[in-house]
Structure 1
Amino acid sequence: MTETDLVVAVLAGIIQGIVEWLPVSSSGNLSLFLSLVGTDPVVATQLALFMQLGTTVSAAAYYRTEIAEATRSLPGWRPQAAYADDNALVSYIIVASFCTGIVGIPLYIFAVDLAGQLTGGVFIATIGALLVLTGLVLVASESRSMGGKQTPTLFDSVLVGAAQGLAILPGISRSGMTSSTLLFRSYDPPAAFNLSFLLSIPASVGAAVLTVASAGGLPGISPTAAGVALAVSAVVGYLMIDLLLRVVERIPFWLVCFVLGAIAIVGGGLVSVFVPAA
């Protein structure tokens, strides 16, 4: 691993550790960063998904109590009482994760194929457009009056799982889509964020496995660089999660999506004009 690879791995880990918890698309912003440092768009798309493993460790550590409670309820889980109070969380994770796979796997194949056809500038601008779309969804959810729901239902699980599947596309925020869907369904905002973050754990593991399987190994990164990037993202993610959850309560992240998206669209257009395609 060269010194440049080490720097890129550390920076990628920091970016992933911070933006995973914000509804501004960690995969989109990480793909942008990797593209700007010269990574092929296909590899950038795959690496952005693979890097979620690091923040999965952060989420598992942060929500260890909830995970332990859900694990203890598994032996008593029955389909006929799937959404009873004791089983609701486990049922939500199982059903939503299944729906994520149904929606996300075909979109992953589409995203990798599309990334292979786009030049660097167009790829960056496309991510920017998807960031703006995420911002529009967040604006819509914030404008809706919220209730006090906290316990997920079957219908909510299907909706949230499908919304999370859409986030396989770089630029579509996973946390933004899932938390917005829950807010649309009149969930209490803290409950919406907690349910969103919990669901990220199986989704991120699944995305990383899918990426490694489709790439035939680590996607364009050495084992050492991958280890460094994942370790950094795990540590930064754990240290930042409390802080970032407090920030979410104070800053309208739809505005962040709009700003980042606009910059990416303009920057991608400039790259397309001034940098010849390979």
Structure 2
Amino acid sequence: MDGETALIAVIVGILQGIFEWLPISSEGNITIALTALGQSNTSAVSFALFLHAGTAVSATAYYRDELKAVLRSIPDWRPSEAFDGSTAELSYLAIATLMTGIVGIPAYLLLGEVIGKLQGGMLIILIGGLLIVTGILQRVSGDLALGSREQPDIVDALLVGALQGFAVLPGISRSGVTASVLLFRSHDGPSAFRLSFLLSIPAALGGSALALLESGSLAGISPSGALIALTVSAIVGYLTIDALMRIVERISFWKICLGLGGVAIVGGGLLVARRIGIVAI
């Protein structure tokens, strides 16, 4: 592994460790960074998705007490009382994860077909458009978030799981979409973010496995480079999760999503214009 590859692995690991906790689509922004560094569209998207395994480790460590409580509730689970008492979060995680797979796997396979045909800056324009969609959703949910629920029900599980599946698309923020849906469903802020990030753990591990199975190369990163990136993202993610989640509660990230989306669309448009000879950059 050369020094340049190691440096790229460290950079994207740091970005993943920070961006994962912010509702601005870590996958979308890292895909843009990797394409800017010369990686192909397909390999950039695959590696950006693969990196979620690192922050899944961070979330597991951070929410270890909550996860232990979920595991301890398994012997008490009954179909007729699935969303009652101590088994509600277990049922929520199981059903939502299943829904994520049902929606997310076909979405990822379709994405692979589409991005292989996108040239120049078209992928960046697509990511910019999806960032704007994410920003609008967060803006609307911020106006309607007036509830105080803490315990999830089956409707939460089905909706959140299905919409999390679409977050496989770079530019759709997983945390932004899932937390927004939970706020729509009258959960309070802390409950929405906790349920969102608990659900991120199985989804991130499944997404990383899907990226490995579907892609023969991870953005030109060697196995040692991938290990460096995962390690860095896990460490940085664990060190930053608490502070960044407090920041999320205070800052209007929908504005940042709109800004990033606008910049991506303009930048991608310039790349397309250069490719077809309209402008010289």
TM-score over 0.5 (shorter chain): yes
Q: Summarize the alignment of residues 3-18 of structure 1 with structure 2, pairs less than 5 Å apart.
A: 3-18=3-18
Whole-Å Cα distance in 2 between the matches of residues 163 and 71 of structure 1? 25
Q: Distance in 2 between matches of 1:29 and 1:54?
A: 16
Q: Deviations over 1:90-114 (max 9, x none)?
A: 0000000000011101100011111
In structure 2, stretches of 5+ residues that fail to align are none
Aligned to 2:29: 29
Matched-pair contact (CA < 8 Å) for 1:183–1:192: yes
- Post-superposition Cα deviations, 1:206-236, rounded to whole Å, max 9, x if no partner, equal 0011111112465642110001000110011
TM alignment of 1:17-166, pairs within 5 A:
17-166=17-166
Consecutive unaligned residues in structure 1, runs of 5 or more: none
- Give yes or no for contact 2:20–2:26 (8 Å, CA) kept in 1: yes
Alpha carbons 2:145, 2:188 under 8 Å: kept: no
- Counterpart residue type for residue 137 of structure 1: L
CA displacement, residues 56-105 of structure 1 (integer Å, 9 cap, x when unaligned): 00000000000011111112222221111110010000000000011101
Residue 246 (structure 1) shift:
1.2
Give per-residue Cα distances to partners, 1:118-143, cap 9 Å, x unaligned.
Answer: 01301111101100010000001001
> Which stretch shifts more, 193-202 or 141-150?
141-150
Q: Structure 1 residue 200: deviation in Å?
A: 0.2
Q: Deviations over 1:160-216 (max 9, x none)?
A: 001101101000000000000000001001100000000000000000111111124
Determine the C-alpha separation between the residues in 1 that align with 2:262 and 2:71.
Answer: 43
Task: Please give the alpha-carbon distance, in whole angstroms, between the structure 1 residues aligned to 2:217 and 2:95.
Answer: 29
- Distance in 2 (alpha carbons) for counterparts of 1:3 and 1:114: 32
Residues 220-259 of structure 1: matches in 2 within 5 Å? 220-259=220-259
Once the two structures are TM-superposed, the CA of residue 145 in structure 1 deviates from its matched residue by 3.9
Alignment check: 8 A CA contact 1:211 1:219 kept: no
* Structure 1 contact 131–261 (Cα < 8 Å) conserved: yes
* Alpha-carbon distance between aligned partners in 2 of 1:111 and 1:218, rounded to the nearest angstrom: 16
Q: Secondary structure at the match of 2:86?
A: coil
> Aligned residue for 1:196?
196
Specify the code of the residue in structure 1 equivalent to 2:184: F
Identity over aligned pairs, percent? 50
Q: What's the CA shift string for 1:242-277, capped at 9, x where partnerless?
A: 110111121100001001100000000111112469
In the TM superposition, what are the counterparts of 1:264-275 in structure 2 within 5 Å? 264-275=264-275
- What secondary structure does 2:241 align onto? helix
In the aligned structure 2, how far is the partner of 1:264 from the partner of 1:66? 37
Between the aligned partners of 2:46 and 2:83, the Cα distance in structure 1 is 35
- Cα pair 1:35 1:120 within 8 Å, conserved: no
For residue 117 of structure 1, give the secondary structure of its aligned residue in structure 2. coil
Structure 2: how far apart are the matches of 1:18 and 1:44? 18
Structure 1 segments, 4+ long, off by >6 Å, are none
Q: How many residues get paired?
A: 277
Q: How far apart, CA to CA, are the structure 1 residues paired with 2:203 and 2:145?
A: 28
Structure-1 separation of matches of 2:219 and 2:34: 13
- What letter matches 1:165 in structure 2? G
